[in-house]
């Protein structure tokens, strides 16, 4: 989703660590490891660092590798995507290492991947494409620039319902219809976006980029994901139970784009506040932006005004 740095920097509880020990995998592509149970079953993938400054996926992937986990059935691939961007991290400018030149999560069109355009992010996507297209399911771990409740993001297709219902963590589900951005995200690439094809691609936004809690969420979510496919031992599954309560599902209806530097939120929205039709969301100069429909729900409010960018998504509970 969109990235805009908050006006004030949050505490940086997690710094990048040396991950060179994970570089040499067993797939002929750096930072990709496949663990084969030797038993029949699905092939699933847990991926981190689609965005270089989103450390929770690195935390979860390295944790799973370090833990000595072996899948009970099928194959588990663990990957770290935009490692070049990760290596650019500068604590004084922590939002600048999302990618090197181009957002890795906006490249997923065959015409672009097959084309001649050079670049480190594109080349990394090209190297990883055979991995992403061979699996039955992908969990892509992300985090958000501002602190907000973790959320599961998937496409509104029947094939996603059993997985999302089983994971039951996180409990905020955001249904992503169509391609909202210029450039296709990874979970909307190829078979992931085909309602009749088996492969599933989901994102979990695990919390704020630099919060330790985001890494903890990512580990728990990864175990829940693997548990759906019957790939983790019962004791590990039991240690990461489904959260209490029922998932809330939201469908994005529209985005609010700032027209001026005077854009101001009416309240410091955290995400998932439900408004009544007509409630004031923000002002943009003289213009008042009010909830355009009943049960209008705030999703991913931006921490900083950038003219012409999405400031907040407005969703409806479904």
Q: How far is the CB of 8 from Zn ion (least distance, A)?
A: 21
Q: How many residues bind Zn ion (CB under 5 A)?
A: 3
**Of 51 and 75, which has the nearer Cβ to Zn ion?**
51
Q: How far is the CB of 316 from Zn ion (least distance, A)?
A: 24
Tokens found for residue 18: 């040396």
Q: Is 209 in the site for Zn ion (CB under 5 A)?
A: no
Q: Is 142 in the site for Zn ion (CB under 5 A)?
A: yes
Beta carbons of 300 and 3 less than 8 angstroms apart: no
Q: Is 51 in the site for Zn ion (CB under 5 A)?
A: yes
Q: How far apart are the first and last CA of the chain?
A: 21
Residue 182: count of CB within 10 angstroms of its CB: 7
**Contact window for Zn ion (CB under 5 A) among 43-51, 87-95, 174-182, 287-295:** 43-51
Q: How far is the CB of 33 from Zn ion (least distance, A)?
A: 21
Closest residue to Zn ion: CB criterion: 142
Q: Write the DSSP symbol of residue 284.
A: E
Binding positions for Zn ion, 53-82, rule CB under 5 A: 54
**Of 33 and 142, which has the nearer Cβ to Zn ion?**
142
Q: Is 33 in the site for Zn ion (CB under 5 A)?
A: no
Q: How far is the CB of 296 from Zn ion (least distance, A)?
A: 25
CA–CA gap between residue 79 and residue 23 (Å, rounded):
10
Q: How far is the CB of 50 from Zn ion (least distance, A)?
A: 6
**Of 41 and 48, which has the nearer Cβ to Zn ion?**
48
Binding positions for Zn ion, 222-281, rule CB under 5 A: none
Q: How far is the CB of 1 from Zn ion (least distance, A)?
A: 7
Q: Which residues, at least 6 apart from 22, have a Cβ–Cβ distance to it below 8 Å?
A: 31, 33, 61, 62, 65, 80
**Contact window for Zn ion (CB under 5 A) among 49-57, 58-66, 211-219, 272-280:** 49-57
**Of 34 and 302, which has the nearer Cβ to Zn ion?**
302
Beta carbons of 196 and 270 less than 8 angstroms apart: no
**CA distances for 26 relative to 17, 42, 137, angstroms:** 22, 18, 19
**Of 104 and 269, which has the nearer Cβ to Zn ion?**
104
**Of 48 and 220, which has the nearer Cβ to Zn ion?**
48
Phi and psi at residue 61, in whole multiples of 5°? Answer: -65, -45
Q: How far is the CB of 205 from Zn ion (least distance, A)?
A: 7
Displacement of CA 196 from its chain's centroid (Å):
23
Alpha-carbon dihedral 148, 154, 159, 163, rounded to 10 degrees = -30
Binding positions for Zn ion, 180-199, rule CB under 5 A: none
Collapsing DSSP states into helix, strand and coil, what is residue 212?
helix
Max CA separation in the chain (angstroms): 64
**Of 3 and 227, which has the nearer Cβ to Zn ion?**
3
**Of 125 and 281, which has the nearer Cβ to Zn ion?**
125
Q: How far is the CB of 261 from Zn ion (least distance, A)?
A: 26
CA–CA gap between residue 54 and residue 42 (Å, rounded):
27
Q: Is 106 in the site for Zn ion (CB under 5 A)?
A: no
Beta carbons of 56 and 207 less than 8 angstroms apart: yes
> Is beta strand 32-36 parallel, antiparallel or unpaired with respect to 263-265?
unpaired
Interface residues toward Zn ion, by CB under 5 A: 51, 54, 142
């Amino acid at each position: 989703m969109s990235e805009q740095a908050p006006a004030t920097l949050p505490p940086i509880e997690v710094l990048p660590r040396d991950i060179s020990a994970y570089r040499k995998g067993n797939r002929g592509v750096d930072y990709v490891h496949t663990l084969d149970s030797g038993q029949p079953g699905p092939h699933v993938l847990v991926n981190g660092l689609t965005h270089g400054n989103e450390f929770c996926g690195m935390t979860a992937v390295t944790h799973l590798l370090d833990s000595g986990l072996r899948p009970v059935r099928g194959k588990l691939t663990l990957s770290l995507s935009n490692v070049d961007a990760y290596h650019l991290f500068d604590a004084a400018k922590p939002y600048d290492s999302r990618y090197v030149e181009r957002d890795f999560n906006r490249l997923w069109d065959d015409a672009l991947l097959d084309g001649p355009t050079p670049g480190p992010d594109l080349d990394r996507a090209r190297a990883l494409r055979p991995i992403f297209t061979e699996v039955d399911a992908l969990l892509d771990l992300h985090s958000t620039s501002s602190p907000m409740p973790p959320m599961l993001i998937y496409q509104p297709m029947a094939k996603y319902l059993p997985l999302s219902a089983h994971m039951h963590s996180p409990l905020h589900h955001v249904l992503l219809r169509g391609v909202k951005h210029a450039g296709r995200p990874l979970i909307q690439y190829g078979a992931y976006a085909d309602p009749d094809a088996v492969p599933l691609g989901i994102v979990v936004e695990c919390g704020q980029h630099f919060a330790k809690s985001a890494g903890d969420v990512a580990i728990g979510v990864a175990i829940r994901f693997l548990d759906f496919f019957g790939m983790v031992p019962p004791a590990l599954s039991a240690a990461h139970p489904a959260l209490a309560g029922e998932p809330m599902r939201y469908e994005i209806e529209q985005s609010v784009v700032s027209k001026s530097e005077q854009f101001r939120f009416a309240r410091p929205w955290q995400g998932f506040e439900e408004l009544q039709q007509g409630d004031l969301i923000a002002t943009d100069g003289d213009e008042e932006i009010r909830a355009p429909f009943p049960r209008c729900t705030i999703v991913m409010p931006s921490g900083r005004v950038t003219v012409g960018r999405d400031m907040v998504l407005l969703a409806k509970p479904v």
